Amino acid sequence: MSYKSLLTVLTATETAAPPLTQITALADQFDGHVEALCLGVDRTQTGYYYAGANALVLQESLSRAKEEASVVQAHAEAELAISGATWSADSGIAQIADLGRHVAQRARFSDLVVLGKPYGRDRNVEAEPIVEAALFEGHAPVLMVPDQANVVSQPKTVMVAWNESVEALTAIRKALPFLIGAELVRVVVIDPPKHGPERSDPGGMLSQMLARHGVTCEIDVLSKTLSRVSDILNRHAVDTGSDMIVMGAYGHSRFREAILGGATRNMLEQAKVPVFMAH
């Protein structure tokens, strides 16, 4: 198993550097092909135009989006041309309400989607829907790259967040190329349930499965000393020098995640190292 088809989705030149740098490093590591989808996004809500607005308003928005797509594509092509990777770049325009369909169609045929951090001062409104479209509609694993994170082609230490969920196991299976190549995989269990199926050996069955792939594992059982699980995971990643975090995405419904915050959103906001997610 390897990552041969690598996709990144870009909507602005200001946030393009981290995912482009990361994806070209992975293409070199796995001898893969980089595909850059450069989108100009019409961020207007066409259902809320004031009375009397006409088609010229919509045309102006679409023209602006087309110009933005061309600028982003030119930037991506210039960066990819000097990377040494095999690559292709395509552009298009999409209205914000229809963005997910465009992203999902490309993500569905990709082994891994590499995206920048979806939250922050310089992020546009479409950054979060792009991540969700790749995960939920494209059913692809996503590697989120923080702005200041080191480029990771083959992480030496990978931290796996294990809570016995289907989402976590899905992410682990899809991250096997990274886990097999790592020197050490740290299986992190936070406050394991006293009456759960793994109560006597938290993370034991997972470690056994990974060991059969030649993965060297250590199990870290942690107490919930902070109010948010994501804070514990991020702190432990820094303390252990982990190069990547692997976790399941959105264990609850997205509605509950939006209302309550959720470990996924908090993780993406605070992560200092790349985060590999799948659902």
Count of domains for the chain: 2
Does residue 238 fall inside a structural domain?
Answer: yes
Residue with tokens 């990547």: 244
Contact at 8 Å (CB) between 94 and 122? Answer: no
How far apart CA 21 and CA 116 sit, in angstroms, is 10
Long-range contacts of 46-53 (CB under 8 A, 24+ apart): 46/95
The answer to whether residue 210 scores a pLDDT higher than 70 is yes
247 and 197 share a domain?
Answer: yes
167 and 102 share a domain?
Answer: no
Contact at 8 Å (CB) between 10 and 36? Answer: yes
How far apart CA 269 and CA 279 sit, in angstroms, is 18
C-alpha of 48 from chain center? 32
141 and 161 share a domain?
Answer: no
The answer to whether residue 253 scores a pLDDT higher than 90 is no
Residue 73: closest CA among 83, 61, 88, 59: 88
- For 99-113, 139-153, 179-193, 240-254, which range has the lowest pLDDT when averaged over its residues? 240-254
135 and 236 share a domain?
Answer: no
Domain holding 114: CATH number? 3.40.50.620
82 and 211 share a domain?
Answer: no
How far apart CA 45 and CA 25 sit, in angstroms, is 38
163 and 97 share a domain?
Answer: no
The answer to whether residue 26 scores a pLDDT higher than 60 is yes
**268 vs 253: which has the higher pLDDT:** 268
Amino acid at 80: L
Q: Show the tokens assigned to 25.
A: 């490093």
Does residue 114 fall inside a structural domain?
Answer: yes
27 and 51 share a domain?
Answer: yes
The answer to whether residue 142 scores a pLDDT higher than 80 is yes
pLDDT at 46: 56
The whole-chain average pLDDT of the chain stands at 89
137 and 217 share a domain?
Answer: no
The answer to whether residue 256 scores a pLDDT higher than 50 is no
Question: Last residue of a domain, which of 93, 122, 145?
Answer: 145
69 and 175 share a domain?
Answer: no
273 and 170 share a domain?
Answer: yes
Does residue 138 fall inside a structural domain?
Answer: yes
Range of the domain at 259: 157-278
